A and B are shown apart, each in its own frame.
Chain A
Amino acid sequence: MTLRDQISRLFKWTKRDGRSGSYAAAYAVLKRYRKPLVYLDSTSFEMLLDEAGEIDVEKLRDALRLVCPKGNVERFVANFQKHGTGESDPIRGFVGGGSRALKLTVEGTPPPRVARFALLLIPKKNREHLIGDIEEEYRTVVLPEHGKACARFWYWEQTVLALGFSVWPFVKRILGLTAIWKLIGR
């Protein structure tokens, strides 16, 4: 089973679970099969809570079974129960890899540099949040699910569209289209 298949299965599981009501918030990345790195962010953590807001170990185990060899699942769960805090800080549980593996996964494939600079052209009002959202989806959804090449393409696509949408009102104003649109009742 490829890495993409494994992640896809985990995404399906989180969707079936339905706690978020929508998108797959949990994800797992196997850098190598023998050195799994399972990284849970604050949103995915929420998916693993039971009705009382406690960590549901069975849910955690189920999710991990899809992506880890059995021995590693148990080691992760033990590690998680020992060190997991439930706060919004990332919780790391892994066999091998450690912070280096986390760094490789989260920071090892940065978004295209030129696109990142281009995003600075977006008006200041929502710039920070928009760039943050693009980066979050790039790192947590697109990159693990589709790979580096697709993720970079996706990042560029989002950049161009974001720039287009933010520039369009100014272009419209310059061309005087706003007045015309008002005249025709738009």
Chain B
Amino acid sequence: MDYLGEFELLVMLAVLRLGTNAYGMTIRREIVDVAERSASLGAVYTTLERLEDKGFLSSAIGETTRERGGRAKKYFKVSASGAGAVKRSLKSTDAMLSGAAWGVAR
């Protein structure tokens, strides 16, 4: 069973949040704006490719626009196994969080 790494989880959640508008740039913006974490497009694409290979994401070629220099967008969608993996990751995180002592050792 494949588990998601931290950045993989962020990417999956960004794709879920964006719905039908999930492509490289919007996914990166979502991570930067919402998770307040820096992420390069290179990192995002490497992760997307890996998640696609694992079968957690599916992709479809979209439209071209002028701002993109006529290049097509690649839209991503979370698959059923991907959604399951996200739930598992969140569940295990939740389980570990409950009972975690937040005190800092001095």
Contact = CB atoms under 8 A, between A and B. Distances in A.
Interface residues of A, number: 34
A157 B40 contact: yes
A163 B71 contact: no
Contacts of A71: none
B28 A137 contact: yes
Contacts of B40: 157-158, 161-162, 165
A136 B69 CA distance: 8
Contact of B17 (A21, A128, A131): A21
A157 B28 CA distance: 14
Contacts of B74: 126, 129
Most buried by A among B23, B33, B42: B42
Contacts of A157: 40
A133 B28 contact: yes
**At the interface, is chain A mostly helix, strand, loop or mixed?**
helix
B63 A158 contact: no
B24 interface: yes
Interface string B18-31: 11010111101110
A140 interface: yes
Contacts of B17: 21-22
Interface of A: 15, 20-23, 41-43, 88, 90, 106, 125-126, 128-137, 139-141, 157-158, 161-166
Interface of B: 17-19, 21, 23-26, 28-30, 33-34, 40-43, 45-46, 48-49, 63-69, 71-74
